[in-house]
Amino acid sequence: MTKEIAPENLYSRIAGLLQAAKQNVVRAVNQTMVYTYYEIGRMIVEDEQQGKERAEYGKQVLKELSKRLTKEFGKGFSERNLEQMRQFYLTYSISQKSSAKLHESENEMITISATPLPKFNLSWSHYLKLMRFENPGERRFYEIECATGNWSLKELQRQFNSALYERLALSRDKEGVKQLAEKGQIIEKPTDLLKDPYVLEFLDLPDHHKYSESDLEQALIDKLEHFLLELGKGFTFAGRQVRITIDEKHYKVDLVFFNRILKCFVVIDLKIGELAHQDIGQMQMYVNYHDRFVRLPDENKTIGIILCKDKSQTLVEITLPENNDQIFASRYNTVLPDKQEFIQLLDQG
């Protein structure tokens, strides 16, 4: 006997299908628009290559183009927008091929070698933001992360302001930094997950504000979606104040997550002051407990992260075994960092 489909279920299925179709149409329209703007930029640049002086000739061309295109096609073709399309082509055509050359001055022509058409997966608004990043490697990193993480423009801005690229790059060698620019953040081992510091400005707990560890924990839970984005790829929430019992004594782990990429538990302990060696010993106990009594045979070893306001790296290194690959201590900031300071540290390295 054929099972009758309830009208409400049928409606939900059709509504879901239509919503997905609508999103696909919007995505296709956005992608077509980006490619169109790239081609417009190419045409403008190639016109400039016909022996004209760009400073004088180019300005007049864009002005005339703006008038005619706006009259025919409506808004979106101001002189500024056309200049952005031109710059979009210059930025992404050059980045596609190392042999591409750009010679630009008031009295020189622009020469660009033939380059393959780039692949664009983001919105025009994303690319307008990305074009403003001066470091090509940093730009490529954020472009990859936006696409793989489905970041909104707001999230891209937030990650850039929090110096995500520099924070990840500081813990890597030159080859690791190169990989960030070419492939984005690749998670293969526990250290690939780590940041130092973690930036928790979304909690609205400024540095001068007095708060307890329980306040910090509650704030993280209240902004769990934001915290998951700051933690990075593959994290799912498993619990808070998770009780473990050893010889009839009870202990509570502040936060527990599971990382689907590394296939392991990640336990997090919160410390609002300076890290002490006892805190590291306590985390060692939490990690050992999860490894021996919680994790399944096909899961990897548990990772422990102590989030603290301040730490002595020497104390951490002396307290932990030399071959440690499970327990880590990272600082956290409750305000956005000075991005320039991270850039200077990266340059010094």
Helix, strand or coil for residue 328? strand
Q: Hey, how many other C-beta atoms are within 10 angstroms of the C-beta on 266? A: 23
Average pLDDT over residues 105-121: 56
Helix, strand or coil for residue 284? helix
The CATH architecture of the domain made up of 188-337 is: 3-Layer(aba) Sandwich (3.40)
φ/ψ of 244, rounded to 5, equals: -125, 145
Quote the pLDDT of residue 257. Answer: 98
Average of per-residue pLDDT values in the chain: 86
CATH 3.40.1350.10 domain extents, the chain: 188-337
- What residues form DSSP beta bridges with 115? none
- Its pTM surpasses 0.85: no
Quote the pLDDT of residue 12. Answer: 82
Quote the pLDDT of residue 324. Answer: 93
Contact 252, 217 (CB under 8 A): no
Quote the pLDDT of residue 115. Answer: 53
Average pLDDT over residues 323-349: 85
